[in-house]
């Protein structure tokens, strides 16, 4: 699976959009971009994933550049409860894949009042 | 989404004793489960893949005789930390993949905090 690079930490004001970048310059054509987050002392929580089109769900939006070498996770209106470590993971998504995830260091997002 | 539970949520044990942690998939079956370990302020580190009906697959550097994994049924995997030492104190997290359409998605348990005194 391709390696990802994320900034170690970011701050965001409550109510504003949080934009979390991720670089994955060695991504292959069949690799998806996944985002998970981990709130302190809890298990990781799935947020969103995408291949090449932008995706949106009730939690966030995922913007993937046209060359797929980077992506941005957007939390449109950050709240204090969004304070967490956010992990960007790239992996192949195939039938035989049981979904093993390898975590990088992630970005610690601190939402401030 | 699917639910994965862990028991206990936290445990304190004395050095030299063994501790068993359970991971259950509550509303789906999982022939494979994954065990992670996380030290303070660090990322999750994959320890091993638990396989129902066969031996677990350990990641490089993880002692299989120290971290015993048993995948007894399609909904239960256990991790036993044998002869625990203070350096084994950590946050242990399991995950289980659920088949969705053409692939699997990963669901995580809430974690187990182990403190060895």
Q: What is the mean pLDDT of chain A?
A: 92
CA atoms of B23 and B27, how far apart (whole Å): 13
Which of B43, B97, B105 lies at the smallest CB-CB distance from A106? Answer: B43
pLDDT at position B111 is 97
Q: If pLDDT is split at 50, 70 and 90, which confidence band does A110 have?
A: very high
Cβ atoms B114, B88 nearer than 8 A: yes
CA atoms of B88 and B92, how far apart (whole Å): 10
B56 shares contact with chain A (CB less than 8 Å): no
Token pair recorded at residue B70: 């048993």
Which of A42, A46, A98 lies at the smallest CB-CB distance from B104? Answer: A98
DSSP result, B27-60:
SS--SEEEEEEE-TTS--EEEEEEETTS--EEPT
Inter-chain CB proximity B44 and A44 less than 8 Å:
yes
Residues from chain A contacting residue B111 (CB–CB below 8 Å): 41-43
pLDDT at position B110 is 96
Nearest CA in chain A to B1: A46
Inter-chain CB proximity A103 and B107 less than 8 Å:
no
* Residue B65 per-residue DSSP state: T
Cβ atoms A7, A19 nearer than 8 A: no
B43 shares contact with chain A (CB less than 8 Å): yes
CA atoms of A26 and B43, how far apart (whole Å): 21
Per residue in B25-79, pLDDT (tens digit) is: 999 999 899 999 999 999 999 999 999 888 999 999 999 999 999 998 999 999 9
Q: How far is CA A16 from CA A19, A73, A88, in A?
A: 10, 14, 21
Among residues of chain B, what percentage have pLDDT more than 90?
A: 81
Residue with tokens 């030492």: B85
Cβ atoms A41, A79 nearer than 8 A: no
Nearest CA in chain A to B105: A99
CA atoms of A99 and B32, how far apart (whole Å): 10
Residues from chain B contacting residue A45 (CB–CB below 8 Å): 108
Cβ atoms A84, A109 nearer than 8 A: yes
**Pairing of β A107-112 and β A61-64:** unpaired
Mean pLDDT of the A31-46 span = 93
Residues from chain B contacting residue A106 (CB–CB below 8 Å): 43
Residues from chain A contacting residue B108 (CB–CB below 8 Å): 43-45
């Amino acid at each position: 699976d391709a390696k990802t690079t994320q900034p170690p930490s970011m701050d965001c004001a409550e109510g504003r959009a949080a934009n979390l970048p991720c670089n994955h310059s060695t991504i292959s054509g069949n690799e998806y971009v996944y985002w998970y987050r981990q709130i302190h002392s809890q298990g990781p929580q799935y947020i969103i994933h995408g291949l090449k089109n932008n995706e949106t769900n009730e939690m966030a939006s995922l913007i993937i550049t046209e060359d797929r070498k980077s992506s941005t996770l957007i939390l449109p209106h950050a709240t204090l409860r969004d304070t967490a470590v956010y992990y960007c993971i790239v992996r192949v998504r195939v039938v035989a894949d049981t979904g093993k995830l390898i975590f990088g260091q992630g970005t610690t997002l601190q939402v401030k009042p | 989404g699917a639910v994965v539970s862990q028991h206990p949520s936290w445990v304190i044990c004395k050095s030299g004793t063994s501790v068993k942690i359970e991971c259950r998939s509550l509303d789906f079956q999982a022939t494979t489960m994954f065990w992670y370990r996380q030290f303070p302020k660090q990322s999750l580190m994959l320890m091993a893949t638990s396989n129902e009906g066969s031996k677990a697959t350990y990641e490089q550097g993880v002692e299989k005789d120290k971290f015993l994994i048993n995948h007894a049924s399609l909904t239960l995997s256990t991790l036993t930390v044998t002869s625990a030492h203070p350096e084994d104190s950590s946050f242990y997290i399991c995950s289980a993949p659920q088949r969705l359409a053409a692939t699997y998605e990963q669901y995580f348990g809430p974690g187990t905090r182990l403190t060895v005194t």
